[in-house]
Structure 1
Amino acid sequence: MIRPARPADEPAIRACAIAAYQRYIAVIGRKPAPMTADFAAQIAAGQVYVARDDNDQPTGFIVFYPDDAIAMMLENIAVAPDHAGRGIGKRLMAFCEDTARQLGFSHVRLYTNEKMTENLAIYPHLGYVETGRRNEDGFNRVYFEKALA
Protein backbone atom coordinates (compact mmCIF):
# COMPACT_ATOMS: atom_id res chain seq x y z
CA MET A 1 0.00 0.00 0.00
CA ILE A 2 1.24 3.48 -0.85
CA ARG A 3 -0.20 6.49 0.94
CA PRO A 4 0.68 10.14 1.56
CA ALA A 5 3.24 10.53 4.32
CA ARG A 6 2.15 11.98 7.64
CA PRO A 7 4.30 14.01 10.04
CA ALA A 8 4.55 10.95 12.32
CA ASP A 9 6.21 9.05 9.43
CA GLU A 10 9.21 11.41 9.30
CA PRO A 11 11.52 9.39 11.61
CA ALA A 12 10.86 6.17 9.64
CA ILE A 13 11.39 7.97 6.32
CA ARG A 14 14.67 9.47 7.55
CA ALA A 15 15.82 6.06 8.85
CA CYS A 16 14.97 4.48 5.49
CA ALA A 17 16.94 7.16 3.62
CA ILE A 18 19.95 6.70 5.87
CA ALA A 19 19.86 2.92 5.53
CA ALA A 20 19.37 3.04 1.75
CA TYR A 21 22.00 5.68 0.98
CA GLN A 22 24.65 4.94 3.65
CA ARG A 23 26.64 2.74 1.28
CA TYR A 24 27.21 5.66 -1.09
CA ILE A 25 29.06 7.88 1.40
CA ALA A 26 32.43 6.25 0.67
CA VAL A 27 31.82 6.28 -3.09
CA ILE A 28 30.72 9.93 -3.28
CA GLY A 29 32.96 11.19 -0.49
CA ARG A 30 30.13 12.73 1.53
CA LYS A 31 26.52 12.06 2.49
CA PRO A 32 24.26 11.88 -0.56
CA ALA A 33 21.69 14.68 -0.70
CA PRO A 34 18.74 12.39 0.24
CA MET A 35 20.36 11.71 3.62
CA THR A 36 20.15 15.39 4.56
CA ALA A 37 16.78 16.27 3.02
CA ASP A 38 14.21 18.25 4.99
CA PHE A 39 11.63 15.48 5.08
CA ALA A 40 9.38 17.35 7.52
CA ALA A 41 9.00 20.23 5.04
CA GLN A 42 8.52 17.84 2.12
CA ILE A 43 5.83 15.93 4.05
CA ALA A 44 4.10 19.21 4.96
CA ALA A 45 4.15 20.18 1.27
CA GLY A 46 2.45 16.89 0.32
CA GLN A 47 5.45 15.66 -1.69
CA VAL A 48 6.20 12.40 0.16
CA TYR A 49 4.46 9.02 -0.12
CA VAL A 50 5.27 5.90 1.85
CA ALA A 51 5.04 2.25 0.91
CA ARG A 52 3.78 0.10 3.79
CA ASP A 53 3.72 -3.66 4.30
CA ASP A 54 0.77 -5.76 5.49
CA ASN A 55 1.61 -4.84 9.09
CA ASP A 56 1.55 -1.10 8.23
CA GLN A 57 5.33 -0.88 8.61
CA PRO A 58 7.22 1.43 6.22
CA THR A 59 9.16 -0.33 3.47
CA GLY A 60 10.13 2.64 1.30
CA PHE A 61 9.20 6.14 0.21
CA ILE A 62 9.14 8.48 -2.77
CA VAL A 63 9.29 12.26 -3.05
CA PHE A 64 7.89 14.01 -6.13
CA TYR A 65 6.33 17.31 -7.13
CA PRO A 66 5.46 19.32 -10.26
CA ASP A 67 8.63 20.57 -11.97
CA ASP A 68 6.97 22.72 -14.60
CA ALA A 69 3.83 22.66 -16.74
CA ILE A 70 4.67 19.33 -18.40
CA ALA A 71 6.77 17.33 -15.95
CA MET A 72 6.71 15.79 -12.50
CA MET A 73 10.09 15.81 -10.72
CA LEU A 74 10.90 12.60 -8.90
CA GLU A 75 13.25 13.96 -6.23
CA ASN A 76 13.96 10.89 -4.13
CA ILE A 77 13.08 7.22 -3.94
CA ALA A 78 14.36 4.71 -1.41
CA VAL A 79 13.53 1.22 -0.25
CA ALA A 80 14.60 -0.10 3.12
CA PRO A 81 17.48 -2.51 2.46
CA ASP A 82 15.73 -5.37 4.28
CA HIS A 83 12.83 -5.00 1.80
CA ALA A 84 14.93 -4.67 -1.36
CA GLY A 85 14.26 -6.98 -4.29
CA ARG A 86 10.52 -7.23 -3.69
CA GLY A 87 9.36 -4.79 -6.36
CA ILE A 88 8.67 -1.94 -3.93
CA GLY A 89 10.84 0.51 -5.86
CA LYS A 90 9.09 -0.33 -9.13
CA ARG A 91 5.68 0.12 -7.48
CA LEU A 92 6.75 3.51 -6.09
CA MET A 93 8.01 4.57 -9.55
CA ALA A 94 4.74 3.43 -11.15
CA PHE A 95 2.80 5.34 -8.49
CA CYS A 96 4.69 8.54 -9.35
CA GLU A 97 4.15 8.02 -13.07
CA ASP A 98 0.44 7.20 -12.64
CA THR A 99 -0.05 10.26 -10.43
CA ALA A 100 1.73 12.44 -13.01
CA ARG A 101 -0.57 11.13 -15.76
CA GLN A 102 -3.69 11.69 -13.64
CA LEU A 103 -2.61 15.29 -13.01
CA GLY A 104 -2.05 15.91 -16.71
CA PHE A 105 1.75 15.79 -16.85
CA SER A 106 3.36 14.25 -19.92
CA HIS A 107 6.81 13.53 -18.44
CA VAL A 108 8.60 12.47 -15.28
CA ARG A 109 12.10 13.80 -14.61
CA LEU A 110 14.64 12.57 -12.12
CA TYR A 111 18.32 12.72 -11.37
CA THR A 112 20.88 10.54 -9.67
CA ASN A 113 24.48 10.88 -8.65
CA GLU A 114 26.89 9.78 -11.37
CA LYS A 115 28.59 7.49 -8.82
CA MET A 116 25.35 5.58 -8.20
CA THR A 117 26.09 3.32 -11.14
CA GLU A 118 23.26 0.87 -10.40
CA ASN A 119 20.78 3.71 -10.98
CA LEU A 120 22.44 4.63 -14.26
CA ALA A 121 21.56 1.13 -15.48
CA ILE A 122 18.11 0.83 -13.86
CA TYR A 123 16.50 4.04 -15.10
CA PRO A 124 17.03 3.38 -18.84
CA HIS A 125 15.59 -0.12 -18.28
CA LEU A 126 12.45 1.59 -16.91
CA GLY A 127 12.11 3.81 -19.99
CA TYR A 128 14.04 6.88 -18.83
CA VAL A 129 16.39 8.66 -21.23
CA GLU A 130 19.46 10.58 -20.08
CA THR A 131 18.98 14.31 -20.78
CA GLY A 132 22.08 15.85 -19.26
CA ARG A 133 24.78 15.97 -16.63
CA ARG A 134 25.68 18.84 -14.36
CA ASN A 135 27.31 19.71 -11.08
CA GLU A 136 24.87 21.03 -8.49
CA ASP A 137 25.52 21.65 -4.81
CA GLY A 138 28.84 19.84 -5.21
CA PHE A 139 27.22 16.69 -6.63
CA ASN A 140 27.74 15.39 -10.17
CA ARG A 141 24.21 14.60 -11.25
CA VAL A 142 22.82 12.70 -14.21
CA TYR A 143 19.35 13.79 -15.34
CA PHE A 144 16.77 11.49 -16.91
CA GLU A 145 13.30 11.98 -18.35
CA LYS A 146 10.50 9.65 -19.35
CA ALA A 147 7.65 10.53 -21.69
CA LEU A 148 4.41 9.14 -20.31
CA ALA A 149 2.06 7.35 -22.67
Structure 2
Amino acid sequence: MDKFLELKELGFGSRMKRLSDTLMRDVKKVYKSLYIDFDPYLFPIYKTISDQDFISVGEISETLQITQPAVTQFINILTKKELIIVSPDENDKRKKLISLSDKGKALKDRLNPVWKIMQEELTSFIDREPTSFMNHIRLTEQEQQEKSLYERIMTRIRENVEIIEYSSEYDHIFHDLNIEWLEKYFYVEPHDKEVLENPKTYIIDNKGYIFFARFNGEIVGTVALINEKECYELSKMAVSPKYQGLKIGQKLMDKCIQFSKEQGWEKIMLYSNRKLTPAINLYRKVGFAEVELEQDVYYERADIKMVLTL
Protein backbone atom coordinates (compact mmCIF):
# COMPACT_ATOMS: atom_id res chain seq x y z
CA MET A 1 0.00 0.00 0.00
CA ASP A 2 1.12 3.55 -0.73
CA LYS A 3 1.79 5.21 2.66
CA PHE A 4 0.99 8.62 1.19
CA LEU A 5 -2.67 7.59 0.85
CA GLU A 6 -2.73 7.10 4.59
CA LEU A 7 -0.91 10.36 5.31
CA LYS A 8 -3.43 12.33 3.22
CA GLU A 9 -2.87 16.12 3.39
CA LEU A 10 0.01 15.72 5.85
CA GLY A 11 2.10 14.19 3.07
CA PHE A 12 1.08 16.76 0.47
CA GLY A 13 4.49 18.43 0.00
CA SER A 14 6.47 15.19 -0.16
CA ARG A 15 3.88 13.61 -2.42
CA MET A 16 4.04 16.51 -4.86
CA LYS A 17 7.84 16.26 -4.92
CA ARG A 18 7.63 12.51 -5.62
CA LEU A 19 5.26 13.09 -8.54
CA SER A 20 7.40 15.98 -9.84
CA ASP A 21 10.58 13.88 -9.64
CA THR A 22 8.89 11.03 -11.52
CA LEU A 23 7.70 13.28 -14.35
CA MET A 24 11.06 15.09 -14.53
CA ARG A 25 12.84 11.74 -14.77
CA ASP A 26 10.65 10.78 -17.72
CA VAL A 27 11.35 14.08 -19.49
CA LYS A 28 15.08 13.47 -19.05
CA LYS A 29 14.66 10.01 -20.61
CA VAL A 30 12.86 11.56 -23.59
CA TYR A 31 15.73 13.98 -24.23
CA LYS A 32 18.28 11.18 -23.81
CA SER A 33 16.38 8.94 -26.26
CA LEU A 34 16.38 11.74 -28.83
CA TYR A 35 20.07 12.55 -28.23
CA ILE A 36 19.16 16.08 -27.16
CA ASP A 37 21.65 17.53 -24.68
CA PHE A 38 19.26 19.51 -22.50
CA ASP A 39 18.52 19.50 -18.77
CA PRO A 40 14.77 19.90 -18.11
CA TYR A 41 15.57 21.96 -15.01
CA LEU A 42 16.83 24.67 -17.37
CA PHE A 43 13.50 24.80 -19.23
CA PRO A 44 11.84 27.82 -17.51
CA ILE A 45 14.89 30.06 -17.93
CA TYR A 46 15.74 28.86 -21.44
CA LYS A 47 12.13 29.14 -22.67
CA THR A 48 11.76 32.63 -21.19
CA ILE A 49 14.93 33.76 -23.00
CA SER A 50 13.93 32.07 -26.26
CA ASP A 51 10.57 33.89 -26.29
CA GLN A 52 12.34 37.28 -26.45
CA ASP A 53 14.92 38.86 -28.72
CA PHE A 54 16.68 40.26 -25.64
CA ILE A 55 15.85 40.05 -21.95
CA SER A 56 17.61 41.12 -18.73
CA VAL A 57 18.25 39.14 -15.55
CA GLY A 58 15.81 41.38 -13.68
CA GLU A 59 13.08 40.80 -16.26
CA ILE A 60 13.60 37.02 -16.07
CA SER A 61 13.46 37.16 -12.27
CA GLU A 62 10.22 39.16 -12.36
CA THR A 63 8.64 36.96 -15.04
CA LEU A 64 9.40 33.66 -13.31
CA GLN A 65 9.07 35.00 -9.74
CA ILE A 66 12.45 33.63 -8.66
CA THR A 67 15.44 35.46 -7.13
CA GLN A 68 18.08 37.18 -9.26
CA PRO A 69 20.90 35.08 -7.75
CA ALA A 70 19.01 31.93 -8.82
CA VAL A 71 18.55 33.35 -12.33
CA THR A 72 22.27 34.23 -12.49
CA GLN A 73 23.14 30.64 -11.58
CA PHE A 74 21.08 29.29 -14.47
CA ILE A 75 22.48 31.95 -16.81
CA ASN A 76 26.02 30.80 -16.00
CA ILE A 77 25.10 27.20 -16.87
CA LEU A 78 23.52 28.23 -20.19
CA THR A 79 26.55 30.39 -20.98
CA LYS A 80 28.94 27.47 -20.39
CA LYS A 81 26.82 25.37 -22.72
CA GLU A 82 27.13 28.16 -25.33
CA LEU A 83 23.34 28.37 -25.66
CA ILE A 84 23.06 32.09 -24.88
CA ILE A 85 24.90 35.35 -25.42
CA VAL A 86 25.22 37.92 -22.63
CA SER A 87 25.94 41.46 -23.82
CA PRO A 88 25.81 44.98 -22.27
CA ASP A 89 22.77 47.18 -22.82
CA GLU A 90 23.76 50.10 -25.08
CA ASN A 91 21.53 52.43 -23.06
CA ASP A 92 22.61 51.20 -19.62
CA LYS A 93 26.09 49.65 -19.33
CA ARG A 94 25.24 48.27 -15.87
CA LYS A 95 22.50 46.15 -17.40
CA LYS A 96 23.17 42.84 -19.20
CA LEU A 97 20.97 41.66 -22.04
CA ILE A 98 20.58 37.96 -22.76
CA SER A 99 19.67 36.29 -26.06
CA LEU A 100 19.97 32.88 -27.67
CA SER A 101 23.19 32.05 -29.50
CA ASP A 102 23.12 30.31 -32.90
CA LYS A 103 23.61 27.02 -31.05
CA GLY A 104 20.75 27.93 -28.72
CA LYS A 105 18.47 28.73 -31.67
CA ALA A 106 19.30 25.41 -33.34
CA LEU A 107 18.48 23.60 -30.10
CA LYS A 108 15.18 25.49 -29.88
CA ASP A 109 14.24 24.23 -33.37
CA ARG A 110 14.81 20.64 -32.18
CA LEU A 111 12.98 21.15 -28.89
CA ASN A 112 9.86 22.92 -30.17
CA PRO A 113 8.15 19.85 -31.72
CA VAL A 114 9.06 17.79 -28.64
CA TRP A 115 7.64 20.45 -26.31
CA LYS A 116 4.41 20.52 -28.32
CA ILE A 117 3.91 16.79 -27.76
CA MET A 118 4.90 17.09 -24.08
CA GLN A 119 2.34 19.86 -23.64
CA GLU A 120 -0.42 17.76 -25.18
CA GLU A 121 0.45 14.63 -23.19
CA LEU A 122 0.77 16.51 -19.90
CA THR A 123 -2.57 18.18 -20.57
CA SER A 124 -4.22 14.79 -21.11
CA PHE A 125 -2.51 13.63 -17.89
CA ILE A 126 -3.62 16.52 -15.74
CA ASP A 127 -6.74 18.03 -17.28
CA ARG A 128 -9.76 16.26 -15.76
CA GLU A 129 -13.18 16.99 -14.34
CA PRO A 130 -13.27 19.06 -11.12
CA THR A 131 -12.53 16.98 -8.06
CA SER A 132 -10.71 17.36 -4.77
CA PHE A 133 -7.08 18.33 -5.26
CA MET A 134 -5.80 15.26 -3.40
CA ASN A 135 -7.97 12.98 -5.52
CA HIS A 136 -6.70 14.79 -8.59
CA ILE A 137 -3.12 13.95 -7.56
CA ARG A 138 -4.09 10.33 -6.92
CA LEU A 139 -5.57 9.99 -10.41
CA THR A 140 -2.50 11.62 -11.97
CA GLU A 141 -0.21 9.21 -10.09
CA GLN A 142 -2.38 6.32 -11.27
CA GLU A 143 -2.11 7.47 -14.89
CA GLN A 144 1.68 7.72 -14.53
CA GLN A 145 1.90 4.18 -13.13
CA GLU A 146 -0.29 2.70 -15.86
CA LYS A 147 1.61 4.33 -18.70
CA SER A 148 4.48 6.68 -17.93
CA LEU A 149 4.84 10.14 -19.40
CA TYR A 150 8.01 8.90 -21.14
CA GLU A 151 6.10 6.10 -22.91
CA ARG A 152 3.29 8.46 -23.92
CA ILE A 153 5.65 11.09 -25.33
CA MET A 154 7.93 8.61 -27.16
CA THR A 155 4.91 6.84 -28.70
CA ARG A 156 3.69 10.17 -30.09
CA ILE A 157 7.15 11.16 -31.32
CA ARG A 158 7.65 7.79 -33.08
CA GLU A 159 4.36 8.38 -34.91
CA ASN A 160 6.02 11.41 -36.54
CA VAL A 161 8.52 9.17 -38.35
CA GLU A 162 7.34 8.66 -41.93
CA ILE A 163 8.75 6.28 -44.54
CA ILE A 164 9.07 7.80 -48.01
CA GLU A 165 10.17 6.45 -51.39
CA TYR A 166 13.42 7.08 -53.24
CA SER A 167 14.41 10.51 -54.48
CA SER A 168 17.82 11.24 -56.02
CA GLU A 169 18.10 14.41 -53.89
CA TYR A 170 18.78 12.10 -50.92
CA ASP A 171 21.57 10.09 -52.59
CA HIS A 172 24.22 11.82 -50.49
CA ILE A 173 22.32 11.00 -47.28
CA PHE A 174 21.96 7.36 -48.37
CA HIS A 175 25.74 7.33 -48.85
CA ASP A 176 26.65 9.16 -45.62
CA LEU A 177 24.36 7.17 -43.30
CA ASN A 178 25.68 3.86 -44.59
CA ILE A 179 29.33 4.94 -44.53
CA GLU A 180 28.90 6.13 -40.95
CA TRP A 181 27.40 2.75 -39.97
CA LEU A 182 30.06 0.70 -41.79
CA GLU A 183 32.95 2.66 -40.30
CA LYS A 184 31.47 2.24 -36.83
CA TYR A 185 31.11 -1.56 -36.97
CA PHE A 186 33.32 -2.78 -39.85
CA TYR A 187 34.99 -1.02 -42.77
CA VAL A 188 33.90 0.09 -46.25
CA GLU A 189 34.42 -2.71 -48.74
CA PRO A 190 34.89 -2.02 -52.50
CA HIS A 191 31.42 -3.41 -53.27
CA ASP A 192 29.89 -1.05 -50.66
CA LYS A 193 31.71 1.96 -52.07
CA GLU A 194 30.55 1.19 -55.61
CA VAL A 195 26.89 0.82 -54.67
CA LEU A 196 26.73 3.69 -52.18
CA GLU A 197 28.29 6.18 -54.59
CA ASN A 198 25.92 5.16 -57.41
CA PRO A 199 22.61 4.05 -55.82
CA LYS A 200 20.50 4.93 -58.83
CA THR A 201 22.69 2.89 -61.19
CA TYR A 202 23.21 -0.16 -58.98
CA ILE A 203 19.83 -0.29 -57.22
CA ILE A 204 17.05 1.80 -58.78
CA ASP A 205 17.94 1.21 -62.45
CA ASN A 206 18.33 -2.50 -61.66
CA LYS A 207 14.65 -2.72 -60.60
CA GLY A 208 15.54 -2.19 -56.95
CA TYR A 209 14.03 0.10 -54.33
CA ILE A 210 15.27 2.54 -51.68
CA PHE A 211 13.21 3.91 -48.81
CA PHE A 212 13.98 6.76 -46.42
CA ALA A 213 12.81 7.53 -42.90
CA ARG A 214 11.97 11.20 -42.38
CA PHE A 215 11.54 12.85 -38.98
CA ASN A 216 10.68 16.54 -38.57
CA GLY A 217 11.74 17.18 -42.16
CA GLU A 218 15.13 15.47 -41.76
CA ILE A 219 16.17 12.19 -43.41
CA VAL A 220 17.27 10.02 -40.48
CA GLY A 221 17.36 6.48 -41.86
CA THR A 222 17.37 4.41 -45.03
CA VAL A 223 17.08 0.88 -46.39
CA ALA A 224 17.22 -0.80 -49.81
CA LEU A 225 15.69 -3.80 -51.53
CA ILE A 226 18.27 -4.90 -54.10
CA ASN A 227 17.31 -7.10 -57.04
CA GLU A 228 19.45 -10.27 -56.92
CA LYS A 229 19.18 -13.47 -58.97
CA GLU A 230 17.80 -15.53 -56.10
CA CYS A 231 15.37 -12.91 -54.77
CA TYR A 232 15.39 -9.37 -53.42
CA GLU A 233 18.01 -8.62 -50.77
CA LEU A 234 17.17 -6.35 -47.86
CA SER A 235 20.30 -4.28 -47.52
CA LYS A 236 21.91 -0.92 -46.75
CA MET A 237 19.83 -0.28 -43.65
CA ALA A 238 21.27 2.58 -41.61
CA VAL A 239 19.83 4.95 -39.01
CA SER A 240 21.34 8.17 -37.72
CA PRO A 241 22.81 7.55 -34.22
CA LYS A 242 20.96 10.66 -33.02
CA TYR A 243 17.59 9.00 -33.60
CA GLN A 244 18.09 5.36 -32.72
CA GLY A 245 15.65 5.64 -29.82
CA LEU A 246 12.74 6.10 -32.22
CA LYS A 247 12.65 2.46 -33.46
CA ILE A 248 13.29 3.68 -37.00
CA GLY A 249 14.97 0.39 -37.97
CA GLN A 250 11.79 -1.45 -37.05
CA LYS A 251 9.72 0.94 -39.17
CA LEU A 252 12.03 0.53 -42.17
CA MET A 253 11.93 -3.24 -41.76
CA ASP A 254 8.12 -3.26 -41.55
CA LYS A 255 7.92 -1.12 -44.70
CA CYS A 256 10.16 -3.51 -46.65
CA ILE A 257 8.16 -6.56 -45.57
CA GLN A 258 4.80 -4.96 -46.36
CA PHE A 259 6.10 -3.68 -49.71
CA SER A 260 7.48 -7.14 -50.61
CA LYS A 261 4.13 -8.76 -49.87
CA GLU A 262 2.36 -6.19 -52.02
CA GLN A 263 4.70 -7.07 -54.92
CA GLY A 264 3.74 -10.73 -54.58
CA TRP A 265 7.31 -11.88 -53.86
CA GLU A 266 7.74 -15.29 -52.27
CA LYS A 267 10.70 -14.35 -50.09
CA ILE A 268 13.40 -11.78 -49.31
CA MET A 269 16.86 -12.40 -47.88
CA LEU A 270 19.64 -10.54 -46.12
CA TYR A 271 23.28 -10.91 -45.07
CA SER A 272 24.53 -9.84 -41.66
CA ASN A 273 27.14 -10.48 -39.00
CA ARG A 274 26.51 -12.38 -35.78
CA LYS A 275 28.12 -9.70 -33.63
CA LEU A 276 25.20 -7.37 -34.48
CA THR A 277 23.03 -9.03 -31.85
CA PRO A 278 20.22 -6.41 -31.69
CA ALA A 279 19.84 -6.51 -35.48
CA ILE A 280 19.84 -10.32 -35.61
CA ASN A 281 17.20 -10.38 -32.86
CA LEU A 282 15.06 -7.94 -34.85
CA TYR A 283 15.34 -10.10 -37.97
CA ARG A 284 14.31 -13.22 -36.06
CA LYS A 285 11.46 -11.33 -34.41
CA VAL A 286 9.88 -10.46 -37.77
CA GLY A 287 10.30 -13.99 -39.11
CA PHE A 288 13.71 -14.24 -40.80
CA ALA A 289 15.30 -17.70 -40.47
CA GLU A 290 18.96 -18.61 -40.89
CA VAL A 291 19.94 -20.53 -44.03
CA GLU A 292 23.27 -21.83 -45.34
CA LEU A 293 25.70 -19.11 -46.29
CA GLU A 294 27.26 -19.55 -49.74
CA GLN A 295 31.07 -19.56 -50.04
CA ASP A 296 31.37 -16.74 -52.58
CA VAL A 297 29.22 -14.11 -50.86
CA TYR A 298 30.34 -10.63 -51.90
CA TYR A 299 30.41 -9.18 -48.36
CA GLU A 300 33.58 -10.05 -46.43
CA ARG A 301 31.86 -9.15 -43.16
CA ALA A 302 28.88 -11.48 -43.75
CA ASP A 303 28.86 -14.63 -41.59
CA ILE A 304 25.09 -15.24 -41.58
CA LYS A 305 22.40 -15.36 -44.25
CA MET A 306 18.70 -15.15 -43.41
CA VAL A 307 15.53 -15.59 -45.44
CA LEU A 308 11.98 -14.45 -44.78
CA THR A 309 9.22 -16.45 -46.48
CA LEU A 310 6.37 -14.10 -47.29
Cα deviation digits, residues 43-68 of structure 1 (max 9, x gap): 3515211111122x111001103445
TM-score, L = length of structure 2: 0.41
Q: Which amino acid aligns with 2:193?
A: T
Equivalent residue, structure 2, for 1:147: 309
2:290·2:305 contact (CA, 8 Å) conserved in 1?
yes
Q: CA RMSD, aligned part only?
A: 2.5
Count of matched residue pairs: 142
Distance 1:38 1:68 in 2: 17
Write out aligned runs for 1:1-149 (5 A).
1-25=162-186, 30-31=187-188, 36-39=193-196, 41-44=198-201, 45=204, 46-55=208-217, 57-67=218-228, 71-135=231-295, 136-137=297-298, 138-148=300-310
Moved more, 13-22 or 92-101: 13-22
- The runs of at least 4 consecutive aligned structure 1 residues that moved more than 6 Å come to none
Equivalent residue, structure 1, for 2:145: none
Shift, 1:31, TM fit: 2.7
Name structure 1 gaps, 5 residues minimum: none
Alignment identity in percent? 19
- Helix, strand or coil: the match of 1:99? helix
Shift, 1:105, TM fit: 0.9
1:49·1:61 contact (CA, 8 Å) conserved in 2?
yes
Distance 1:48 1:21 in 2: 18
Shift, 1:108, TM fit: 1.9
- Helix, strand or coil: the match of 1:127? coil
- Helix, strand or coil: the match of 1:133? coil
Aligned pair in 2 of structure 1 residues 34, 68: CA closer, same or farther (>3 Å)?
closer
- Helix, strand or coil: the match of 2:198? helix
Distance 2:174 2:191 in 1: 11
Distance 1:63 1:85 in 2: 21
Instruction: Find the structure with the greater CA-based Rg.
Output: 2
Distance 2:171 2:242 in 1: 19
Name structure 2 gaps, 5 residues minimum: 1-161
Q: Which amino acid aligns with 1:52?
A: R
- Helix, strand or coil: the match of 1:77? strand
Q: Greater share of strand residues, 1 or 2?
A: 1
TM-score, L = length of structure 1: 0.79
